[in-house]
Structure 1
Amino acid sequence: MNTAARVVSFLFHPLLMATYLFGLFAWMLPLALSPLREEGHGRFILIIFSITFAMPALAMGIFRSMGTINSVMMHSRRERVIPFLFTTALYGTLTYMFYTRTGVRFDDNLFRFMLIIDALVVIGTLLTLFWKVSMHSLAAWGFTGIVLALNRLTEDGSLLYPLIFSLVVTGLVMSARMQLQAHSLREVTAGAIAGLLTGFAGMVILF
């Protein structure tokens, strides 16, 4: 069971959720990535993966070698603070660079989705200053909140199956984190509530 829980935790790591979300859009809802042209979607997703997953993952290794954190698993709340603040700054910088250097505007779909992802990261970091909530749960439910709101907005219900899949995944993620004793039920539930509310509210406010 622990092996399966570790696989689930890795496959649906919080830092991968942005890549999965934009990958879903490129595949099923290209309009969500406007003003990018479809031929540029692959390059964009590669950039997202590099900056929102690869770079933070590399930073975790550096923090580990410097002794800032005891393990890349970051079992205690206190050792999560600096890596989370770094990740927040990285996500914010990515959004700022896209806004200032690519010509995207505030009312473009792409930019608004990036703002919602930034909000999820900021909320997760702020909560971590006081409590060790589950970032896996927060990210998975944030993804679900976005897809839930989008499915309501699309007239053809094309995101119904991705929504069902994401609900199954969130259940697996929450179970996996508790199976590994990485978080308590309260911490997993708190992450779920924060993620769902932030993702769904961000969609309602910005769209």
Structure 2
Amino acid sequence: MARFISFVFHPLLLATYMFTLFALVLPWAFSPLKEDGHFKFVMLIFCVTFVLPSLNIGLFKAFGSIKSMAMEDRRDRVIPFIFVTILYSAITYLFYSRTRIGIHDSLLKFLIIIDVLMLVGTLVTLFYKVSIHTLGMWGLVGILLPLNKVAEDGSLFYPTIACIALAGVVMSARLQLNAHTPREVMVGSILGLATGCLSVFFLF
């Protein structure tokens, strides 16, 4: 069960979950996209933030750059994390430069926040094996918490409560698998929550 939870809430899937939630309850997050293009964008996000990085990490494993796909050793994580950070940033830049999405549009701001979370995780991993699962989950919570003030209809309240509960479940799963120490899980949680909240406050 802990392995299943760790897979379902893999950090690379969280951008897809976030935009799926926004498509359901917070359509202005996709500004300036038209409403009929929201789920198409979600599928695009799934491909470029999960499928493409996963394939490349598989190539790193095939060529011996990392010992396993799970990347238990901190040193195994450095190259893939740097690659994914560069990939995410390049995708955001392409959206900005090749589409009509502008710097003041909500969609670009959320893409930037995802990039910042990935960058923080990568920088910390250079020196410390932090739990990226918990960083990602609490990063999502950190994004949703301040957005509750923006969504005046209360549509994000229950999703936020659910994400907090799921973040706790993910923390327990990572500890159950002995993938991380309690300190590594706690550091990931604090970094994710702080980065998510501060990014939303700064950009919105």
Residue in structure 2 matched with residue 99 of structure 1 by the alignment: 96
Residue in structure 2 matched with residue 70 of structure 1 by the alignment: 67
Q: Secondary structure at the match of 2:88?
A: helix
Which of the numbers 145, 156, 170 marks the counterpart of 1:173?
170
Q: Secondary structure at the match of 1:70?
A: coil
Counterparts in 2 of 1:34-183, with a 5 A limit?
34-183=31-180
Q: Secondary structure at the match of 2:69?
A: coil
User: Mean Cα displacement is larger for which, 55-64 or 124-133?
Assistant: 55-64
User: Mean Cα displacement is larger for which, 36-45 or 195-204?
Assistant: 36-45
Residue in structure 1 matched with residue 201 of structure 2 by the alignment: 204
Q: What is the rounded CA distance, in whole Å, between the counterparts of 2:185 and 2:33 in structure 1?
A: 35
Q: Secondary structure at the match of 2:175?
A: helix
Residue in structure 2 matched with residue 9 of structure 1 by the alignment: 6
Q: What is the rounded CA distance, in whole Å, between the counterparts of 2:137 and 2:149 in structure 1?
A: 19
**Which amino acid counterpart does residue 111 of structure 1 have in structure 2?**
L
**Which amino acid counterpart does residue 47 of structure 2 have in structure 1?**
S
**Which amino acid counterpart does residue 102 of structure 2 have in structure 1?**
R
Q: CA deviation at 1:30?
A: 0.5
Q: What is the rounded CA distance, in whole Å, between the counterparts of 1:87 and 1:46 in structure 2?
A: 18
TM-score, normalised with respect to structure 2: 0.99
What's the CA shift string for 1:108-133, capped at 9, x where partnerless? 00001111110000000000000000
Q: CA deviation at 1:159?
A: 0.5
**Which amino acid counterpart does residue 64 of structure 1 have in structure 2?**
K
Q: Secondary structure at the match of 2:194?
A: helix
Q: CA deviation at 1:153?
A: 1.8
**Which amino acid counterpart does residue 125 of structure 2 have in structure 1?**
T
Q: What is the rounded CA distance, in whole Å, between the counterparts of 2:87 and 2:40 in structure 1?
A: 19
- Contiguous gaps of at least 5 residues in structure 2: none
Q: What is the rounded CA distance, in whole Å, between the counterparts of 1:173 and 1:88 in structure 2?
A: 22
Structure 1's consecutive aligned runs of 4 or more residues displaced over 6 angstroms after TM superposition are none
Residue in structure 2 matched with residue 30 of structure 1 by the alignment: 27
Pair 1:185 & 2:182 matched: yes
Q: What is the rounded CA distance, in whole Å, between the counterparts of 2:53 and 2:172 in structure 1?
A: 25
Q: Aligned pair count?
A: 204
- Contiguous gaps of at least 5 residues in structure 1: none
What's the CA shift string for 1:72-96, capped at 9, x where partnerless? 0000000100000000011001100
Q: CA deviation at 1:152?
A: 2.0
Q: Report the aligned-residue RMSD.
A: 0.6
Q: What is the rounded CA distance, in whole Å, between the counterparts of 2:160 and 2:171 in structure 1?
A: 17
